Amino acid sequence: MKKNYQDLEQLSDKVVVLSGSDLSEILQSQSRPDELAGVSDKQVSREYPGIPQFVTGLKSLASTLNVSVSTIGRWKRKGLLDRATFQDGKTVIFNVHEVLDILRVSNHSNFKSYDRRKN
């Protein structure tokens, strides 16, 4: 009985037991869209030289992307930026590279729907 108590005590502070590579794999699969699941971090950073990966707040994202704050607010309300947004209370952190990838995919789908209406 005492042995079981010691085992439980050792595990009580551990919610999940993962190796570093397992955790890294899970985080990478959750933080990237399906199109970029196989792309390494070095390849992504080469796509956007000179653009910071993370910014804090709507104003800094708007200035980084050269759009208005109301446009960022509209995209956020629509849920377009949900995959690239980390929010804790009032603090909002955006993954700029992820936002650009989302906008690229979103823009591509808008052009496809425009082509269908035209024909």
Instruction: Point out the least confidently predicted range of 5-19, 67-81, 89-103.
Output: 5-19
Q: Compute the distance between CA of residue 58 and CA of residue 6 in angstroms, rounded to an integer.
A: 49
Q: Would you say residue 78 lies in a domain?
A: yes
In a domain, 114, yes or no: yes
Q: Is the pLDDT of residue 78 over 70?
A: yes
What global pTM score does this model have? Answer: 0.54
Residue 56 lies in a domain: yes
Examine the pLDDT at 44 and tell me if it is beyond 80. Answer: no
Model confidence at 114, pLDDT cuts 50, 70, 90, reads: low
What residues have CB less than 8 Å from 61, skipping those under 6 apart? 55, 72, 94, 96, 99
* Domain contains 73: yes
Given a cut of 60, whether residue 62 has pLDDT beyond it is yes
Total domains, the chain: 1
Number of H helices, E strands in the chain: 6, 3
Is residue 43 domain-resident?
Answer: no
Residue 44, domain member (yes or no): no
Q: Is the dihedral of CA 43, 83, 94, 81 positive or negative?
A: positive
Q: What is the pLDDT of residue 69?
A: 95
Convert the pLDDT of each residue in 11-21 to its tens digit: 566 666 667 67
Does 11 fall in a domain?
A: yes
Q: What's the domain range around 101? A: 2-38+49-118
Mean pLDDT of the 50-78 span = 93
